[in-house]
Structure 1
Amino acid sequence: MSVAVASSPVSGATQYEPLRVMVVDDSVVIRGLISRWIEAEPDLTVVASLRTGLDAVNQLERVRPDVAVLDIEMPELDGIAALPQLLAKKRDLIIIMASTLTRRNAEISLKALSLGAADYIPKPETTREQSAADIFRHDLLQKIRSLGARARRRASPGSVAAPAPVREIAPAPHATPAAQLVKRAFSHVSPRVLLIGSSTGGPQALMSLVATIGPVIDRFPVLITQHMPPTFTTILAEHLSRAAKRPVHEGVDGELIKSGQIYLAPGGRHMKVGRQGANPVITLEDGPPVNFCKPAVDPLFATATEFWQNATLAVVLTGMGSDGMRGGKDIVAAGGSVIAQDEATSVVWGMPGAAANAGICAAILPLDQIGPKLVRLFSGDRT
């Protein structure tokens, strides 16, 4: 057994102390790599580096981490079996599942989200390729920081336990209070297409949303970009299809965009909107990441306006970063409309917060109000 545990935490922790991270992976190479990345950050620290899920369960109460990076495939007790045991011992523990890009692991990762994991991160097939390692490192550190906010707020003296949704560790500079955010009027024309962008917390939010917008899907095309790698998007499309009770599939380069269909950007490709005569078509691009993401939301939003112009309606759901904000500006410039998920129901209010603070949103709504609002807008309501 290979176990490395830091000294016991000092009581009276403050919000300025580094986030405490537990790394659990049976690969000594991956454990060492992730631990070195974390220790290089002044606001993060590794409190335990463990080989199995059983080690994690046994050491949890002693090392008291804020965040656990939990591998799926491990001896003795794998990640999906350790997950509920860890949360039973520490219900506010932020757990990020880590797995290789296989169909089985994609299924398990999505199942883990329904069991209480905060997020997942795909491990690159090899860390020897510098670009893959850099993206993995960037994504992992960003997820740890953003999702670790919940544990940090609860640990702060005098804080009140927050509900399940999580916010960024710190608000964007000069962020405007929600009540004072500028909202624009909706487009004066009825929308003819629905675009949706999401990231962290997106799979759960998407499944909830598509289940409520059947009348929209039946009459208009719906295009979705969720930050996800290949294989994971294939599984997500299957889950969304069951939730929507309507066809959902990964976009195919050159296919016509039709009503009654939901098109999901395939992992590893940017999904855009092109033109074939008088018809809109899916175009897939294998270009560099945008906003560190591939697929990214901005390319979809920006190109859709070239076809639907002021009849474009976009929704920015929970997610880290600001992807969707620039594309949202293009939509608004063309006369279309943008709706953002509100902070209280977002797992991370990064993407929707960026859109809201940019002043491009016609509405900022709780997740359960977005579906009914969309049905009304696509039925002709302009308010």
Structure 2
Amino acid sequence: MTKIRIVMAGLLIAAAFVVLAGRRCDAALSVDTIRVAIVKNAPGVTVDGNGLLALRENGAAVALNPPVAVKAGRDDVLVDGVPYRRLVFSAASAVSINGKRYRGVAEIRFNDKGLLVVNELPLEDYLVGLINCEISSAWPIEAIKAQAVIARTYAVNRRESRRDALYHLESSVIDQVYNGCEIEDNRARRGVSETAGEVLTYNGAIIQAFYHSNCGGKTEAAENVWGMSIPYLKGVDCQYCRLSPSSAWDQKLSLRDLEERLKAAGYKATGLIDIRAGARNSSGRLKDVIAVTRRGEVAVPGNQFRKAIGYGIIKSTNFTVKVVNGDAIFSGLGNGHGVGLCQWGAKQRALEGFSYAEILSYYYPGTELKKLSDIR
């Protein structure tokens, strides 16, 4: 592509997205977009891309030479010492933020403790980039399609509930894992395109489509995790995930390490001498974990224990624990909160010939597949 064509492509992209620089996305926009926070509280970021174009908060173009080093000011953003309230970057194919490429535009502003970078892009492009972050596009196509539907459903639900916020989703496990367009591929795009616009509904409303990696044999009821009863998230038996590599796990941590992590989370765990499993709920997961200290016992809710110790360390609340020579040895099943669709279970069901619609109806009983255009 010639330099002139690159510049013109950048200008066309900027024109298409200029309205996005000053507006929240909603159903009225001609392009169905989503806003994803990809960087939070950063002291600075580097922006690059072919035909890079920058717009300031009033929509005026700013002449900047890429790569652009954007730094956090006191309550604004700085480029070469010049302050801006907000900058919106677009490029011919994708905008690069700290070396990662993103479709759509990247909006940068100061927020809270540093720079906030929000990637605003078409919803369907977001889903294509997400697939290989959440599962693998090498999985059966029906599992990919199921993932596309629940990710779209989750995103639209969050967009509605956060309509007036600076962004709708975070790009981590807090919402959905998303790393831009670096690992897009044709199978991911096929799964998205073959379910284009489809979402799950219950009584005509878009559902809260929670999902997780591996349930370990039975999905969890929402009330056991978040204290809210949701009719389509009551928990179902699932033996399909038991053969996956993430089904069973073991972990060993010293009592001293556990004590420090619990104290950092606000629990009175000084002088920790033992860790015991507490009561279990109907799905077999722990309601609480008992931290035994020299001054007495502290009951820590199971989900809060995972959060305090680390979600990647204590992979689920379905575990046993014993203490040997000052070390706590955990043995567990499953990976994640257990609510909604089990991704590894969905994979196995797809291998056994179930369609994506059948997979979704199993994990979200009572729901219906509908097109977004039919419920707006």
Comparing both structures, which one devotes a greater share of its residues to helix?
A: 1
- Normalised by the shorter chain, which TM-score bucket? under 0.3
TM-score w.r.t. the length of structure 2 is 0.28
Structure with greater strand percent: 2
